[in-house]
Amino acid sequence: MKNEGIDGTERFLSPGKGRGLRAVRHFAVGELVFACPAYSYVLTVNERGAHCEHCFTRREDLFKCGKCKQAYYCNVDCQRGDWPMHKLECVAMCAYGENWCPSETVRLVARIIMKQKVTTERTSSERLLLLKEFESHLDKMDSEKDEMVQADIAALHHFYSRHISDLPDEQTLIELFAQVNCNGFTIEDEELSHLGSAAFPDVALMNHSCSPNVIVTYKGTVAEVRAVKEINPGDEIFNSYIDLLYPTEDRRERLLDSYFFTCQCTECTSKSKDKAKMEIRKLSSPPEPEEIRSMVHYAKNVIEEFRRAKHYKNILLLKTEDLIQLISLSQEKMGAIFADTNVYMLHMMYQAMGVCLYMQDWDGAMNYGEKIIQPYSVHYPAYSLNVASMYLKLGRLYLGLEKKSQGVRALKKALAIMEVAHGKDHHYVAEVKREIEEQK
């Protein structure tokens, strides 16, 4: 297709940021700015059997691929639509059996390579930015990131070299993995559970702000960008690249580590929410600044341990009891200095809630959710998916525990956010409305 652009927006050079996306007309809160189909995507292995491999529809009556018995589809049309990409893995999964274990990033890159082999023109995912224009930041990568890329390249060769003829050369692969690491997206459901990974070139054009004026949600394998603030002609359109719960120093560290820039947005320069986010417990003898700094350092290390464990799937090797003990000890230590509304305490409560849900300890999960939701509503921006998903989880827990009025109230609060963030016609919105209606 020709470069037709995106109605109501334009690509431009943003001062101090490089290329970006700018509005050329007004967008109201909740209005769809644009939609972008995935250039390439992959369903996460853990969701196989629950979601269609091709369209990501969640349903119970999926049927499986007759060859590998691993991929599931809505119908024959979805299976045929997915075959050009699934055939890469179908043969490999049959060949390797239980030893087939490439990372999600490797799986996505394999699909991008295949797509590039058969695509000669600009796709509908690249109306403003081509995938090959993605920034790679190769010159800024440290040795740890270099090693991870090399491990991914080795896995790509191991699992796919027999099934993709003429893999790109080493340098091209290094650049492609670096581009995907900096510009890839994770597709999530209404409770922010991970569904898969994808490349959305036009969405990647947007620069970051910790006070964004749009939010990205997903309808199947299509990314939808909606305004969460009034956007006027000439305004730059900003997305958020990271979880906005944390204070300025922490957000800047995360952005520098993953995206190689120091954020200078209004939220980072004003630090307006930092005091509330770093609330200290009221004690007869207030802690010294050095004690607070030391506890922040400890909290960051604990969070990083969890992140690494999840990344390398070591979390699955931990016994649930050990996990609970680790969380409890961390909460106890941090709680000596941090108030319960402190974002690092909230992080540990969220982890504890997740363990309770896994163990089907519904009362425990509800108790943590009740402690989390109010501070979340203060710390996050308006129309936050994190706040909506917490209200959803709480609402569904309440209903399961036969607390009908509390459940309906929580679901209605989630719905108010989702109608703006997801759009009133989204199937997630319809599902929540149906859940509320069933309680009448």
* Biggest alpha carbon–alpha carbon distance for the chain: 70
Q: Which residues pair with 36 in a beta bridge?
A: 223
Do residues 156 and 148 lie in contact, with contact meaning Cβ atoms separated by under 8 Å? no
Q: Is the pLDDT of residue 9 over 70?
A: yes
Q: Is residue 29 part of a domain?
A: no
Please choose, from the candidates 228, 263, 236, the residue with its C-alpha nearest in 3D space to the C-alpha of residue 247. 263
The pLDDT score that the predictor gives to residue 314 is 46
The residue written with tokens 């000890």 in the block is 329
Task: State whether 185 and 118 are in the same domain.
Answer: yes
Query: How many domains are contained in the chain?
Result: 3
Instruction: Supply the CATH number for residue 337's domain.
Output: 1.25.40.10
At 76, the pLDDT band (50, 70, 90 cuts) reads: very high
H helix intervals, 246-361 = 248-259, 266-270, 274-277, 289-311, 320-335, 343-358
As a whole number of angstroms, the distance between CA 306 and CA 315 comes to: 8
Task: State whether 287 and 170 are in the same domain.
Answer: no
Instruction: Supply the CATH number for residue 144's domain.
Output: 1.10.220.160
Please say which residue of 149, 175, 199 terminates a domain: 199
Task: State whether 134 and 119 are in the same domain.
Answer: yes
Q: Is the pLDDT of residue 3 over 60?
A: no
Task: State whether 155 and 62 are in the same domain.
Answer: yes
Cα dihedral 246, 354, 303, 377 in deg (nearest 10): 10
**In the chain, pLDDT over 90 holds for what percent of residues?**
82
Q: Is residue 32 part of a domain?
A: no
**In the chain, pLDDT over 70 holds for what percent of residues?**
95
Do residues 202 and 36 lie in contact, with contact meaning Cβ atoms separated by under 8 Å? yes
Compute the mean pLDDT over every residue in the chain, rounded to the nearest whole number. 92
Task: State whether 151 and 186 are in the same domain.
Answer: yes
Please say which residue of 373, 397, 424 terminates a domain: 373
As a whole number of angstroms, the distance between CA 379 and CA 390 comes to: 13
Domain enclosing residue 158, as ranges = 39-199
- pLDDT for 414-437, tens place per residue? 999 999 999 999 999 999 999 999
- pLDDT for 298-357, tens place per residue? 998 888 877 666 554 444 445 666 777 788 888 899 999 999 999 999 999 998 898 889
As a whole number of angstroms, the distance between CA 177 and CA 125 comes to: 19
Task: State whether 192 and 340 are in the same domain.
Answer: no
Q: Is residue 26 part of a domain?
A: no
- pLDDT for 231-268, tens place per residue? 999 999 999 999 999 999 999 999 999 999 999 999 99
Q: How many beta carbons lie within 10 A of that of residue 129, not counting itself?
A: 22
As a whole number of angstroms, the distance between CA 340 and CA 332 comes to: 11
pTM, 2 dp:
0.93
Do residues 282 and 347 lie in contact, with contact meaning Cβ atoms separated by under 8 Å? no
7-16, 177-186, 190-199, 299-308: segment of lowest average pLDDT:
299-308
As a whole number of angstroms, the distance between CA 395 and CA 412 comes to: 9
Task: State whether 317 and 399 are in the same domain.
Answer: no
Task: State whether 188 and 44 are in the same domain.
Answer: yes
